[in-house]
Amino acid sequence: MLTKLALTGFKNRWRDYLVLFSGLIMSSAIFYMFEALATNHDFLKQNTGISMVGIIFQFGSVLLTIITLVYISYANSFLLSMRKRDYGLFMLVGARKSKIGQLIWLETLLVGVVATVIGIIFGTALTAGISRLLISSMDLTLHHLSAWYLPAAGITLLLYVGLFLLAGLFNLVTLTKTPALKLLHSNDQPNRPRLKPARQLLEIIVGLIAIAIGYWSMAHLDTLQLAGIGIALVTIVLGTYFLFNAIFVWLMVGLKRLPFAQRGLNSFTLSQLSFRIRNYTKMLSIVAMLFALALGAITVGMGFHAQTPKLAASSNAYDMGIVNATTAEKQQVTALKPTTNVTYHFKTDKKAVYYQATEFDQHPFTTINMQGKNQLNFKRKTNDAKQLSKSPASYQLSQLQASQSQNKANVFLSAKDYQKLAQPEHSLTVFATNDVTQHLPALKRLAKVQGQRDHGLVDNMLGGRYGNYVMINGMYSGLEFMGLFLGIAFLAMLASCLMFKILSGADADKHRYAMLDKIGTTHQQLRGAINKEIAVLFILPGIVGVIHVLFGLQMFKFLMVVSPYTGIWLPFVIFAGLYLLYYLLTVTIYRRIVLQ
């Protein structure tokens, strides 16, 4: 009988349960996605050159676990608030507390297990989809990436089921020890904020000091190493919570005393925010951290991606060198509209590669060093041979050669001495385009033909900009992928947390908006009040998150060749657009629930 009554209650509030299930599914899916990388040690070793990346991910797992603990505790309180009235009615009609306790425990565990299993499946699909999208769109080279990873699924299931077991026991004790009448009226008591100036001032001071220490440790990560990550993890999380807990309460109470609060429905909006103020501070602290993690990860991932072609361009003045280019290959090179296209002739033996110095006088070979570009030519009065075996110019020229000639010395002869050599003559065609990344498919086809002709030559041995791009892209692909993948995951988690928090209170807000409608408030005013209330909940953590990111990028100064702030506007604009879409989606769903 109790089971039938419970199912009836579930049917009557299926929209609230849908919000709960969707939030828990997204939470477990994101946790699985993170663990799919964090626990895959082969993936971390093969795709990053950072020795401590595994420990960094362990710190990230700790932070995400803390966020998950808070999220599940909040989800459980939402589940509890939905069922208190129902279970109070069961007690009034004579149901035994032991039976109700069993029902509470089983319901909580069932909700958690079902949501977690679906979340792991959904997380696997998201991992596969996002990975395929990033790899194809950004030309990434990854090894040992697996969308389905059993250890990650096991950790996710163990954590979530364990937390819901504890939550079920907590619900059992809470509901069976609470009188029936109190359960019936548990949702009717507002949580009014009270100002405690001394305590709040102390929280602000402690919060600012903690965040300052966290920022300092991130800026000095090159010296503090792992200790810096641990310090930043603890201090920034605590500092963010203290600041929200103190300032947000103060802000809401202070704003209600201003003339601004008496205009239109501003007083109602501020009262709505104040009604569940304590729960908002915890959730907004989490959202601010997720905002910083998501935006920071995307910014760093895009930063590594942007510096790859720059590093490739700084390694050589030419895109590629082709030995004995065929007519078809020359036509392919011409189709690229190169800015430079020169052919040098050479002869070779077991020790050296011999060039005609006059060809380099006519078409100087451009080299790149730390000071800029130079030109290699041999305008001199003597006809003596000149050997450049160890110079940067010789190295850059050798790297454009075939594999068997890359380690030989380069010797530049006069035309007369060159003609005396009995070895057969070959040609080396070197060319450069405006941007390697714009011509990757065509360059890849040329590289493939050379690899078939010279079996010892692979892409990263080509030596020019394209070869160096392939090599550098292989080094940074893992970091780019991790940044963008985790950024998308944290953004989804952020949206899940914030939308769940806002929408979980929508059903209780229906009668408030119905009362305003009955006293003559226009729908335009009601929509404006909703827009303002939800905008505050999006803007506050967004501001804190942006500040965290601007200071947090200091961590990557010693890992990135270019400044981590270079081109920062692009990921910020993209993230702002996605954040705005989440805001509009949340407002739309909330309106449909509360406005008839």
Q: What percentage of the chain carries pLDDT values higher than 70?
A: 83
| Contact residues for 311 (Cβ-Cβ < 8 A; gap 6+) | 468, 472, 561
How confident is the model at residue 402, as a pLDDT? 82
Over residues 260-287, mean pLDDT? 73
> DSSP string of 284-331?
HHHHHHHHHHHHHHHHHHHHHHHHHHHHHHTT-S-SEEEET--HHHHH
How confident is the model at residue 7, as a pLDDT? 60
> Is the model's pLDDT at 211 over the cut of 70?
yes
Give 479-523 pLDDT, tens digit per residue: 888 888 888 888 888 888 888 778 777 777 777 778 887 787 888
Give the number of other CB atoms < 10 A from CB of residue 373: 9
Q: Rounded distance, CA 354 to CA 388, Å?
A: 11
Give the number of other CB atoms < 10 A from CB of residue 242: 23
Q: Rounded distance, CA 28 to CA 303, Å?
A: 29
Q: pLDDT confidence of 380, banded at 50, 70, 90?
A: very low
- Pick from 358, 301, 367, 311: which is nearest to 340 by CA? 367
Over residues 111-138, mean pLDDT? 89
Q: Rounded distance, CA 267 to CA 515, Å?
A: 15
Q: Rounded distance, CA 181 to CA 160, Å?
A: 32
Higher pLDDT, 85 or 65: 65
How confident is the model at residue 122, as a pLDDT? 93
Summary mean pLDDT of the chain? 80
Over residues 439-447, mean pLDDT? 89
DSSP lists the bridge partners of residue 426 as: 346
Q: Are 139 and 440 in contact (CB under 8 A)?
A: yes
Over residues 243-260, mean pLDDT? 76
> Is the model's pLDDT at 155 over the cut of 90?
yes
Q: Which range has the top average pLDDT, 49-53, 87-91, 519-523? A: 519-523
Q: pLDDT confidence of 179, banded at 50, 70, 90?
A: low
Show me where the domains of the chain are located: 1-189, 190-315+464-596, 320-458
Q: Rounded distance, CA 588 to CA 518, Å?
A: 22
Over residues 106-134, mean pLDDT? 89
For 49-65, give one letter per residue: b (16+ CB within 10 A) or e.
eeeebeebbebbbebbe
Over residues 568-581, mean pLDDT? 86
Q: Which two tokens stand for residue 371?
A: 């000071």
Q: Side chain identity at 545, as an amino acid letter?
A: G
Q: Phi and psi (nearest 5°) for 367?
A: -120, 160
- Cα–Cα distance list, 84 to 182, 499, 543 (Å): 9, 23, 36
Q: pLDDT confidence of 13, banded at 50, 70, 90?
A: low
Q: pLDDT confidence of 269, banded at 50, 70, 90?
A: confident
Half-sphere exposure (Cβ direction) of 76: Cα atoms closer than 13 Å:
27
Q: Rounded distance, CA 579 to CA 265, Å?
A: 25
Q: Which two tokens stand for residue 589?
A: 């769903």
Give 401-439 pLDDT, tens digit per residue: 888 888 888 888 888 889 989 899 999 999 999 888 888
Q: pLDDT confidence of 527, banded at 50, 70, 90?
A: confident
Q: Rounded distance, CA 83 to CA 183, Å?
A: 9
Collapsing DSSP to helix, strand or coil, 229 comes out as helix
Q: Which two tokens stand for residue 433?
A: 């385009």
Give 283-324 pLDDT, tens digit per residue: 788 888 888 888 888 888 888 888 888 888 887 889 988 988
> DSSP string of 502-561?
HHHTHHHHHHHHHHHHHTT--HHHHHHHHHHHHHHHHHHHHHHHHHHHHHHGGGGTTT-S
Q: pLDDT confidence of 381, banded at 50, 70, 90?
A: very low
Give the number of other CB atoms < 10 A from CB of residue 543: 11
Burial class (CB in 10 A: 0-12, 13-18, 19+), 271: middle
Alpha-helical runs (H) found in 93-149: 97-138
Q: pLDDT confidence of 344, banded at 50, 70, 90?
A: very high
Our measurement of the distance from residue 320's CA atom to the centroid of its chain's CA atoms, rounded to an integer in Å, reads 34
Higher pLDDT, 306 or 353: 353
> Is the model's pLDDT at 186 over the cut of 70?
no
Q: pLDDT confidence of 75, banded at 50, 70, 90?
A: confident
Higher pLDDT, 427 or 94: 427
Give the number of other CB atoms < 10 A from CB of residue 181: 11
- Pick from 119, 118, 59: which is nearest to 493 by CA? 119
- Pick from 245, 251, 240: which is nearest to 280 by CA? 245
DSSP lists the bridge partners of residue 345 as: 427
